[in-house]
Amino acid sequence: MVQAPVGVYLLPTVNKLASAKGRKGETMAFDFQKTPKSGAMNVVVRLILLPVALCLWLACPASAQDGGALPAAGSAVTAQAQSAVQKEKPVVAVAAADASVQAAPTVATPPVSHAAEVDAVDNHPWWFWPVALLFFCFLLGIVAVMAGVGGGVLFVPLVSGFFPFHLDFVRGAGLLVALAGALAAGPGLLRRNFANLRLALPVALIASACAIVGAMLGLALPTNIIQTCLGATILGIAVLLLLSKNSVRPVVTTQDAVGLALGMNGVFLEPSTGEVVQWKTHRTLAGLLLFIAIGIMAGMFGLGAGWANVPVLNLLMGAPLKVAVGTSKFLLSITDTSAAWVYLNQGCVIPLMAVPSIVGLMLGSVVGVRLLAKAKPKFIRYMVILVLFFAGAKALMKGLGW
Amino acid sequence: MMKPTDLKNEIKASPAQLRYADTLFYGALLGFVVMLITYALYVLGVLTPQIPLDEMPRLWTHSAAAYREAGNIPQGWGWLALVNKGDICNFIGIAFLAALTIFCFLQLAVGLARQKQWLMMVIAILEVLVLSLAASGILVAGGH
């Protein structure tokens, strides 16, 4: 399947914004020079949407190749690749020039289901995709912070859809990205008591054990099945983000026996009002059981799990939103650790792509926090939901071979 | 209902939680620094990689199983034997970051035992076991 440039999908949105501005009578075309005073929307369009569209558009040639189609232009296929195809599509013709490479003595034949991928030949220099990934993740970090979602949930569908990396490596990097974010945020959340250990420990035990199962399942199942399930999950997450209305302070009249036994209650200081907020959980058993599914999905797709942790902790178990968000972020440092180890031990982590992803996303998060004051998070959130619908549909179609 | 003095004490994170936060903070900082240094050594060509950088674009489009086979990348902790290679040495920082939670939980279990919070201590120990099992490399999924 030949992938249309992402810019084609994103630019109408930008144009729509342009039209909205144009209604004020100045011009129907969006002119960046003439709209300097339009604050938040201008920041969003100028600093985020256009670079994201540009980055995705740059990534498109690879996605077209990754989809199994031969590039239209013959120049994209190197002579080396052509000879490789003639030799019954070997996985790699390892360069004999470098003595440091311990090449496999016999040429490995890839599984039949991956035959199309063998045709994918990338003639960009080695640094091109890591640099593209660094910039892409930087922008992703900004958007993720402003939309209030974790990086992993955006990283895996977008990078697997628009970059040439195999899904195994994208999931491995996705888990490390989510893990790095959680490790960076964890200490502050714990010190302020926004992440509560008594709430996190039982939940983390279940989720991390199940994340191992999910990771093993994800690596054992064929890529097309995982891709299809990933697409369906991303679409589900987009619907969840669209429909769920978190409650700042859910009303919990009585704590259930399980919550009481596990000591799932606490107190925190609301800094904005100076108010001391007491909280406790209910429906604890149902919540704990749901973390089985959350753990499996986190491990299987390398998504992180903040998108699921927060609604379960907040809406189902009744933890205040701040505690739910803080504990969820901290939980990722445990859940993703167990899944990340499985991916790491299976060789699913390529440092050349994982490190720029981590660095880009973390730097983007820092900038995102600063931009948060100027931009409209609600608008960004809807944009992210739109991108998730798009990325989910693409992953689904890719998995189904459409 | 808690008394105001109890509430004040409850607002503060417990000593065990604070120790956990400190270990996480300094450990993550160290891990990130190591990760960046090893990455620089790798991409600047200071250390020879196991797989040449030019080969990577042709390898990362294939599954992890094919990548391991083509580059002779060992599974589990086998990478330690190749730690002098530019690409493999990056796993020092990454593995350290991934192992950090295990250290934190060990420390937490000791702290909880001192506070006689036995149930939480058991959960923390179980968590250490789960994470250690994942880290051990014993669990190997079938390739696809």
Are residues B70 and A263, on separate chains, in Cβ contact within 8 Å?
Answer: no
A234-248, A369-383, B12-26: range with highest mean pLDDT: B12-26
Are residues A351 and B94, on separate chains, in Cβ contact within 8 Å?
Answer: yes
Same domain (yes/no): A204, A69: no
Same domain (yes/no): A194, A331: yes
In eight-state DSSP terms, residue A107 is P
Rounded CA gap, A359 and A228, in Å?
29
Q: State pLDDT tens for residues A310-344.
A: 889 998 999 988 888 889 889 989 999 999 999 99
Q: Is B113 on the interface with A (CB under 8 A)?
A: no
Q: Is B25 on the interface with A (CB under 8 A)?
A: yes
Q: State pLDDT tens for residues A22-81.
A: 333 333 333 333 333 444 445 444 555 555 454 444 444 443 334 333 333 333 333 333
Q: Is residue A106 part of a domain?
A: no
- Chain pair A-B, CB pairs under 8 angstroms: 257
Same domain (yes/no): A246, A368: no
Cβ–Cβ < 8 Å for A212, A346: no
Nearest to B62 among A166, A184, A341 (CB): A166
Cβ–Cβ < 8 Å for A385, A237: no
Strand-strand pairing, A265-270 and A275-280? antiparallel
Cβ neighbours of B115 (radius 10 Å): 12
What is the structure's pLDDT at A105? 36
Q: Is residue A395 part of a domain?
A: no
What is the structure's pLDDT at A104? 37
Q: Is B45 on the interface with A (CB under 8 A)?
A: no
Per-residue pLDDT of chain B (144 residues; tens, 9 = 90+): 556 666 666 778 888 889 999 999 999 999 999 999 999 999 999 999 999 999 999 999 999 999 999 988 988 899 999 999 999 999 999 999 999 999 999 999 999 999 899 999 999 999 999 999 999 988 765 555
* Rounded average pLDDT over A289-303: 92
Range of the domain at A204: 167-349
Predicted confidence (pLDDT) at residue A382 exceeds the cutoff of 60: yes
Q: How far is B65 from chain A (nearest CA, A)?
A: 8
Same domain (yes/no): A171, A320: yes
Q: Is B44 on the interface with A (CB under 8 A)?
A: no
φ and ψ at residue A258, rounded to 5 degrees? -65, -45
Are residues B64 and A169, on separate chains, in Cβ contact within 8 Å?
Answer: yes
Q: Which of A86-100, A272-286, B29-43 has the lowest mean pLDDT?
A: A86-100
What is the structure's pLDDT at B1? 53
Q: How many domains does chain A have?
A: 2
pLDDT class for A194, splitting at 50, 70, 90? confident
Q: What is the pTM of this model?
A: 0.76
Nearest to B21 among A102, A190, A198 (CB): A190
Q: Is residue A202 part of a domain?
A: yes
Residues of chain B found within 8 Å of residue A110, distances taken between Cβ atoms: 62-63, 66
What is the structure's pLDDT at A51? 52
Q: Which of A126, A196, A273, A365 should we substitute to test contact with B (largest number of B Cβ atoms within 10 Å)?
A: A126
Same domain (yes/no): A187, A321: yes
Exposed/middle/buried for residue A188 (C-beta within 10 Å: 0-12, 13-18, 19+): middle
What is the structure's pLDDT at A273? 80
Amino acid identity at A279: W
Residues of chain A found within 8 Å of residue B134, distances taken between Cβ atoms: 208, 212, 337-339, 341-342
Are residues A338 and B75, on separate chains, in Cβ contact within 8 Å?
Answer: no
* Rounded average pLDDT over A200-220: 94
Same domain (yes/no): A257, A315: yes
Same domain (yes/no): A176, A325: yes
> Please, what is the average pLDDT of chain A?
74
Q: What is the distance of C-alpha A200 from the center of its chain? A: 22
Q: Is residue A326 part of a domain?
A: yes
In eight-state DSSP terms, residue A74 is G
3-state secondary structure of A194: coil
Q: What region, left, alpha or beta, does residue A222 occupy, with left being phi > 0 and alpha being psi -120 to 50 degrees?
A: beta
* Rounded average pLDDT over A359-369: 87
What is the structure's pLDDT at A250? 85
Q: Is B34 on the interface with A (CB under 8 A)?
A: no
Same domain (yes/no): A339, A244: yes
A87-113 burial string, b = 16+ CB within 10 Å, else e?
Answer: eebbbbbbeeeeeebebbeebeebeee
- ipTM confidence score: 0.92
Q: Is residue A71 part of a domain?
A: yes
Q: How far is B86 from chain A (nearest CA, A)?
A: 10
Are residues B69 and A108, on separate chains, in Cβ contact within 8 Å?
Answer: yes
Rounded CA gap, A291 and A338, in Å?
14
* Rounded average pLDDT over A173-194: 89
Query: Which residue of chain A comes nearest to B84, CA vs CA?
Result: A100
Same domain (yes/no): A286, A200: yes
Predicted confidence (pLDDT) at residue A253 exceeds the cutoff of 80: yes
Q: How far is A103 from chain B (nearest CA, A)?
A: 6
Same domain (yes/no): A245, A312: yes
Are residues B52 and A100, on separate chains, in Cβ contact within 8 Å?
Answer: yes
Q: How far is A196 from chain B (nearest CA, A)?
A: 8
Long-range contacts of A372-379 (CB under 8 A, 24+ apart): A372/A145, A372/A146, A374/A39, A374/A40, A374/A43, A375/A40, A375/A43, A375/A44, A375/A48, A375/A146, A376/A40, A376/A41, A376/A44, A377/A146, A377/A147, A377/A148, A379/A40, A379/A41, A379/A44
Query: Which residue of chain B comes nearest to A130, CA vs CA?
Result: B57
Q: Is residue A82 part of a domain?
A: no
Same domain (yes/no): A188, A46: no
* Rounded average pLDDT over A278-303: 93
Q: Is residue A98 part of a domain?
A: no
Same domain (yes/no): A175, A298: yes
Q: Is residue A100 part of a domain?
A: no
Q: Is B64 on the interface with A (CB under 8 A)?
A: yes
- Output the CA–CA distances (angstroms, integers) from residue A316 to A193, A244, A253, A284, B71, in the order listed: 21, 12, 14, 8, 47
What is the structure's pLDDT at A212? 95
